[in-house]
Structure 1
Amino acid sequence: MDYKKITETPSNYDGLEHMDTNAILVNMNKEDKKIADAVEKMIPQISKLVDELSKKFQNGGRLFYIGAGTSGRLGILDASEIPPTFGMPHERVVGLIAGGDSAIRKAVENAEDDTVQAWLDLKEHNINTTDVVVGIAASGTTPYVIGGLKDAKKNGILTACITNNPGSPIAKVADIPIEVNVGPEFVTGSTRMKSGTSQKLVLNMISTALMIKIGRVKGNKMVNMQLTNDKLVDRGTRYIAEGLGVDYIEAERLLKKYGSVKKALDAEADNTIQ
């Protein structure tokens, strides 16, 4: 091993069981404050990935996340939020986890140690060179993820990774490595904590920036969101009222007429121009 596995280094704190509740929480919070700064250092790499993704998406490409355990679950979480938030078909951003869907709730023994399964999982989605694969692994050593990235690269597919161990094997495999050094975990080796939080921040940045770049946001509004409940219908109505300078009743009528915020805004803008 020619790199330091930071995620396994001892915590900056000891005797955790002897701390009172306030001390535990204060010290956890101290560690959490370091996360955003660590992510900030990776913005150039994240930007590079988003720019490549936006090009691929304009040509019908897709984004695949692959991971195991917490990392896999975070990828699935990010992917699952794209359709309701931005109105994209669910197959455009896909999260895959070692062990399959059952591993979302319960760990599947040895699933992450399989070096060939990720590529088999990706092939079920007819993955091709218009797509991008992002491997997520705090340790940077997860065989499922490394194997998937290697096979994707062999087949001419752009790859990236999110890891918390700079210089790790996964970073050497990925075309665009995003290496977020958050330091030791509060509980030694518990990467569901700072590492997992940093991954969530990076995933938010990747998918949100991508959706903005490909036109799924107007101004600062989620104009393509799915109107699946009363809260979202109300939000959509208010967006139209603000965007067109009409009252709530008229905005509600326009939302019912066009079926989406974006269609209402675009159609009424066209009418104004004419």
Structure 2
Amino acid sequence: HFKEERDKIGVICQKCSNTTHYWIKSQWSYECKSCRSRTSLRSGTVMQSSKLSFLIWYKTMFLLTATKKGFSSKEIQRQLGLKRYEPVWAMVHKLRKAMGNRDDRYTLEGMIEMDEGYFTIEASEKAHQTQKSGRGSKTKSNVMIMAESTILENIESGKAERQCRYFKAKVLEDHKAGATDITFQNAIDKEQTIVFTDKSTSYVNIADYVELHISEKSDETTTTETLKWVHITISNAKRNFVGTNHKIKKKYLQLYLNEFLYKLNRRYFGDKIFDRLVIANITGL
């Protein structure tokens, strides 16, 4: 199955960039028809250099895509019956990185909701006892959440409601407008984009990058209507992390967000999400 998917995508010779190869079954390798150099089946994929078998990787990809909540690395280790935790942890994080790389290929467009959420991260017990919550806390990490949303009429009620499409989530290094601007520009299609935010000072430059920027004072109406899908996503992600993972370090938070968003953006794929992750494995480096 993995070879079939890789053949569909194509193999590029690392030596001469040729795209036509022979398959050497006995070596599980491709041989370039031009320069005769060989490329292993794993080379250039997320599995590259891994000593874990294809079966272990496939079982892990199945577990990661089987449910909305997912599994912790510790639970995957238990399910696979492996003795060592470290290789499993590394494998799962490589797959999460591949998920993020795959989603980074796409940009949001049209009407976009944007806001920030504060996610609990690993910190000392003293920090949890003394630090304030929210912005500036050492126990929280600031994450920008963006959602494509379109206003459609509800057939039954006749009222206009926001319907969501795709999402993005990026960990921000600080609360300054500069960090927000760069992250935002990388996430959107700048043509014909309308962005809805609250009146945070982090968004002062957003109007420079889009057709229209609409900002509203942060209140209950903004949370439940204007930025509805962003706040639903923040709540669901936090609940997902609490139920599955514990004490997430800040430097790994983006990887956990990658997995959550990857599955959220493919929520209607059904069983096909597994095949999509195999493709992300091949192209995700």
TM-score, normalized by length of structure 1?
0.27
- Which structure has the highest strand share of the two? 2
- Which structure has the highest helix share of the two? 1
TM-score, normalized by length of structure 2?
0.26
